[in-house]
Amino acid sequence: MLRYFIKTTEALKRLRKDQDGVVSFEYIIVAACIIGAVAAAFGTGATGAIGTALSGGISAIVTKFNAAV
């Protein structure tokens, strides 16, 4: 039992000193923030403000293209 405690303690000490682990954790946090911002901007199912604007713009382009052809 003492052997596992020592191994665990040593592993936690290495993890605390490991700067690479901190950097990768920061990347996870940044990625989660970006995903949240994109979801907030576009909404789910393209019902957000940007999704509505893009759909309206594409519809206008298609309408003008069909009228020109």
CA–CA distance from 15 to each of 9, 24, 29, 49, 60 (Å)? Answer: 10, 12, 18, 43, 56
- Evaluate if pTM is beyond 0.85: no
Q: Distance (Å, rounded) from C-alpha 31 to C-alpha 59? A: 32
15: Cβ contacts below 8 Å, ≥ 6 apart: 21
Tell me, rounded to whole angstroms, the distance of Cα 56 from its chain centroid. 26
Residue-wise pLDDT tens digits, 11-51: 777 766 666 656 677 788 888 899 888 877 776 666 667 77
Residue scoring higher pLDDT (6 or 20): 6
Identify the pLDDT of residue 60. 92
